[in-house]
Each structure stands twice: as structure tokens, then as C-alpha cells.
């Protein structure tokens, strides 16, 4: 196996490990840990992209390099699946946060509308004042 494909396979394995660490950080809500992994992941992706661009410009190799290339492609497909899994987890967490924010924003509006009567059972002055300003 040539040195280029061996390095690419090693980088693919490192990317796989980083993506797994990323998932672990996301599952325990360790945002700092997740952020610390991003430079390493981006560096590995840049190296792998450079390798793929170099290989695509060269004539296809035969024999053992084909096996190495197929092994590299299968590892990268696994990395892609793991990356998509992490992305789905991030999107679901963001949606949960957005939903919580909507609830909190709406609850403050509902709370102010609910204050119709004061403790003595009379119409609250702040409510009446708000009604006139809204009109």
C-alpha cells in the first residue's frame, strides 16, 4: 500500500475517533469539549480533502491501491454516517432549546394577561391600564 493511502487511512481513523468523542460530548451536554474537538476535526477534513483531490487528478491505480482506495472509501462512509448522527443530535438539541425559549417568552405574556384581579377580587389597575394602552 502506498504511503499516501496509508496516511489517508490513518487520518480517516483519527476522524472516526474525533467524531465519536464529539458524540460523547454532545450526549452529556459538554459544549466546551465539543468546541475543543472542532479544530482537530477541521484539520483532518482538510487533509482528507486534499488527498481526495490529489487522487482524483491522477490516473487510477491498479492492484493493491484499489483495495486501499475501497477501504478508504468505506471508512469515510462510516465517518459520514457518524457525522450525520451528530448533526441530527445537534439539531434536535437546538430545536428543544428553541421550544423552551418560545414557552418562556409566551409564558411571560400569559402571566401578564392572567393578572386580571388583585387579591381583593377587584379588576387589577395594571390590567385595566394595559387594556387601554393596547387599544
| Count of domains observed in the chain | 1
Q: Name the percent of the chain lying above pLDDT 90.
A: 41
**Cβ-proximal residues to 55 (8 Å cutoff; 6+ apart), any chain:** 4, 69
Q: Is the pLDDT of residue 22 over 50?
A: yes
Q: pTM value?
A: 0.68
Q: What is the pLDDT of residues 26-75, one digit of tens each?
A: 999 888 999 999 999 999 999 999 888 887 777 555 445 678 888 999 99
Q: The domain containing residue 45 runs over which residues?
A: 3-134
Q: What is the CATH number of the domain that holds 16?
A: 1.20.58
Residue 45 and residue 98: Cα distance in Å, rounded? 30
Residue 17 and residue 33: Cα distance in Å, rounded? 14
* Higher per-residue confidence, 43 vs 1: 43
Contact assessment for residue 79 and residue 12, using Cβ atoms and an 8 Å cutoff: yes
Q: What is the pLDDT of residues 69-89, one digit of tens each?
A: 889 999 999 999 999 999 999
Amino acid at each position: 500500500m502506498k504511503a499516501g493511502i496509508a496516511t489517508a487511512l490513518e487520518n480517516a481513523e483519527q476522524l472516526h475517533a474525533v467524531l465519536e468523542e464529539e458524540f460523547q460530548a454532545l450526549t452529556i451536554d459538554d459544549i466546551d469539549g465539543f468546541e475543543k474537538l472542532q479544530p482537530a476535526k477541521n484539520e483532518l477534513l482538510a487533509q482528507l480533502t486534499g488527498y481526495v483531490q490529489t487522487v482524483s487528478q491522477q490516473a487510477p491505480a491498479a492492484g493493491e491501491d484499489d483495495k486501499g482506495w475501497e477501504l478508504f472509501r468505506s471508512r469515510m462512509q462510516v465517518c459520514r454516517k457518524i457525522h450525520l448522527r451528530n448533526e441530527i443530535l445537534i439539531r434536535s438539541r437546538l430545536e428543544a432549546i428553541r421550544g423552551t425559549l418560545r414557552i418562556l417568552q409566551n409564558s411571560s405574556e400569559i402571566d401578564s394577561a392572567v393578572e386580571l384581579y388583585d387579591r381583593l377580587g377587584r379588576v387589577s389597575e395594571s390590567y385595566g391600564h394595559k387594556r387601554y394602552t393596547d387599544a
